[in-house]
Chain A
Amino acid sequence: MEYRFVCSGKTYRVNIVADKEESWQVAIGDGKPLRVELITSSSGCYSFLMDGEPITAYAVEGGGKVYIFVAGQSFAFELEKGRARGTSGREVARGSGNLVASPMPGSLVKLLVSRGDEVEEGQTLAIVEAMKMENELRSPIKGVVRRVNFAEGNQVDALQPIIELEAL
């Protein structure tokens, strides 16, 4: 069975075949399959043997993601479904290039442009503050401001389009 996991915008293919009770052959991408055995599991903590090497992993699911902590590093994976998906906020914000959104939830402390303004690529358009740190939102393109969806002082969610641009 093949799974496609999305992590930090990248897609990874993993092939898995169960070979006996609590034991699998797992291959990343086109790599060589590795034998992984589950030794014990309890309350989100899993002990595996990966090619004979003992590995402890912690895992939890939530919000459509599986979170895994292993070898001191944590990862959040989303399952890439085979069927066509609806457009998520993340894709809107990243994909089309003419929407400007905050990567984090916070307070819109400064709005530096208004409708009809021409902006340069890289120009600071707005400033969002969260956890006392300011984050400058810069224009991804040279263009014209078509819509401004929030006012200064508003709370904005992560990836919610704040400014909509039209390329010049």
Chain B
Amino acid sequence: MIKKVLVANRGEIAIRVMRACQELGIKTVAIYSDADREALHLRIADESIPIGAPPASESYLNIDRIVRTAKRVGADAIHPGYGFLAENPDFAQRCEEEGIIFVGPTSATLRLVGDKVAARGTMQKAGIPIIPGMTFVGKGIEDFRKATSSLGYPVLVKASLGGGGKGMRIVRNERDLKNAIAAGRREAKSAFGDESVYLERYIEEPHHIEFQVLADKFGNVIHLFERECSIQRRYQKIVEETPSPTLSGELRTRMGEVAKKAIKAAGYTNAGTVEFLLDRDKGFFFLEVNARVQVEHPITELTTGVDLVKQQLLIAAGEKLALRQEDISQRGHAIEARIYAEDPTQDFLPSPGKILYLQEPQGPGLRIDSGIYPGCEVTPYYDPILSKIIAWGETREFARRRLIQGLKNYAILGISTTVGFLIDLLEHPQFVEGQTYTNFISKNMGGWRPKGNALDQALMVAAILSSEAPTKPEIVAAQATSPWQELGEWEICGSGV
């Protein structure tokens, strides 16, 4: 079994991974950039090592430094989390060469599925339906123009090494093509260190449905049902749920089998996700394999009772899957809402700053995976995810109501967050009915502003506090709260699962 894991990530996912390690009796090593000296993941780890300057390219993406650090501290495995180096085949290969266990698939598999273009080719050969589009990386503008002449507009510019929507651009006419490709390349280069992009047909109003899969090194593959991830902004998920309100039992079974077939075709091992787009006629197309633990993995954990991160570690250690397909069933319904440091009134503009106040909700059926604490600084360098709140309920409606109640008691002050927006989204009649398409936000939530009655109440509170401020020590106390004073409370509120 693995003895010591270096977690090559930060924020809530680093903490999630460390918790799984602790439960398995594995020692943990945190790495951190100069911007993260006071980050929460350092407090959870057994040891913490500085890794470089704030820009990700000099720290969390610095393969050489991370691998050397792992060797120096005697870590026998590296868990990459999601984002950063999670799906970087060079990183996995370097680990293989240095005799370090990479918690994920092999570098060869990563190279195949991480290269969306190559993966599309492989899936097509295995008889799995793919979205019409380029099956090669575009070089000059002529390559892209030629592709659009057969695909027609709108098309989607996608990063070949993409994920999480980075580098993705929708193009509705020829005029915007060149700029969109340039912007996509820059963003891809910054996020993944590679600027390859290609074009795919843009499917209007699809459902985004993905299947969670576990595959060991002995050829055993199981799926743990789907996640409906259609609620997105900037092609990035913000609310996910399982089971999908859209799938019939028959379609669920069929897609689950295709997902397993895709994983086998790719020779994939460890935890992975097969993403599909489901069109209006319930036709489904292979989108990509996400070769990592997903941000939204908790909803699968809450409904199946399987700890996916522990499974990742066991599989990476070379153990055989103890679970068979017939062991896996879903109980109830789970919904996750992602809390980002973004201003939903300004088109989700990133909102870095200091968290002046934090009060997390509690209650039955609520799980919070968080990377923040009161007083912490949210820097502009990394992905703006702060935390995730996940509600489980016997039914979709109970889970939805629990999640709303949780969000209504999730006070994060000092920066803009998506909390208020998420409440109104979850209360939207279309969401209540399960009418979740990838354009849900632009269609139903455009121009969102907090409701007037909340503003009125806030104004009254502001007036009372302003008139009382000098004599109210509580306000000052909250402001002066140091993260260390809050630590005890934090551990209780944030212990998750």
> Given A18-B467, A60-B414, do A43 and B383 touch, yes or no (CB 8 Å)?
no
How many angstroms from the CA of A57 to the CA of B461 in the assembled complex?
Answer: 8
> Given A16-B467, A59-B475, do A130 and B352 touch, yes or no (CB 8 Å)?
yes
| Residues A60 and B356 in contact, CB atoms below 8 Å apart | yes
Interface residues of chain B: helix, strand, loop or mixed (majority): helix
Quick check: which of A62-70, A82-90, A140-148, A159-167 contacts chain B, the rest being far away?
A62-70
How many angstroms from the CA of A62 to the CA of B420 in the assembled complex?
Answer: 21
| Residues A70 and B454 in contact, CB atoms below 8 Å apart | yes
A74 within 8 A of B: yes
B170 within 8 A of A: no
Contact among A38, A61, A104 with B351 in the assembled complex (CB-CB below 8 Å): A104
Residues of chain B contacted by A134 (CB below 8 angstroms): 183, 186-187
| Residues A67 and B420 in contact, CB atoms below 8 Å apart | no
Residues of chain A contacted by B356 (CB below 8 angstroms): 60-62, 67
- The contact string, 1 if C-beta is below 8 Å from chain B, for chain A 13-47, is 01110100000101010000010101001111110
A168 within 8 A of B: no
How many angstroms from the CA of A68 to the CA of B359 in the assembled complex?
Answer: 12
A95 within 8 A of B: no
| Residues B357 and A60 in contact, CB atoms below 8 Å apart | yes
| Residues B460 and A58 in contact, CB atoms below 8 Å apart | no
B126 within 8 A of A: no
Most buried by A among B346, B407, B475: B475
Min C-beta distance of A49 to chain B, whole Å = 11
Contact among B357, B413, B460, B478 with A26 in the assembled complex (CB-CB below 8 Å): B460
Contact among B186, B419, B456, B479 with A61 in the assembled complex (CB-CB below 8 Å): B479
| Residues B453 and A71 in contact, CB atoms below 8 Å apart | yes
Most buried by B among A50, A62, A103: A62
Closest residue of chain B to A109 (Cβ to Cβ) is B186
| Residues A131 and B381 in contact, CB atoms below 8 Å apart | yes
Min C-beta distance of B347 to chain A, whole Å = 9
How many angstroms from the CA of A3 to the CA of B384 in the assembled complex?
Answer: 34
Measuring CB to CB, which residues of chain B are less than 8 angstroms from any residue of chain A?
166, 183, 186-187, 190-191, 234, 341, 345-346, 349-352, 354, 356-357, 359, 380-384, 404, 407-409, 411-414, 416-417, 419-420, 423, 450-451, 453-467, 469, 472, 474-479, 481
Given contacts A75-B454, A77-B462, 18 further A-B contacts (CB under 8 A): A14-B460, A26-B460, A41-B474, A43-B474, A44-B475, A44-B477, A59-B461, A59-B465, A60-B357, A66-B465, A72-B407, A73-B423, A104-B352, A127-B183, A131-B382, A132-B190, A132-B382, A134-B186
Q: Can you give 17 contacting A-B residue pairs, CB < 8 Å?
A: A8-B345, A15-B463, A24-B467, A26-B460, A28-B460, A43-B477, A59-B462, A61-B469, A62-B356, A71-B454, A72-B404, A73-B458, A74-B420, A130-B350, A131-B384, A132-B166, A133-B187
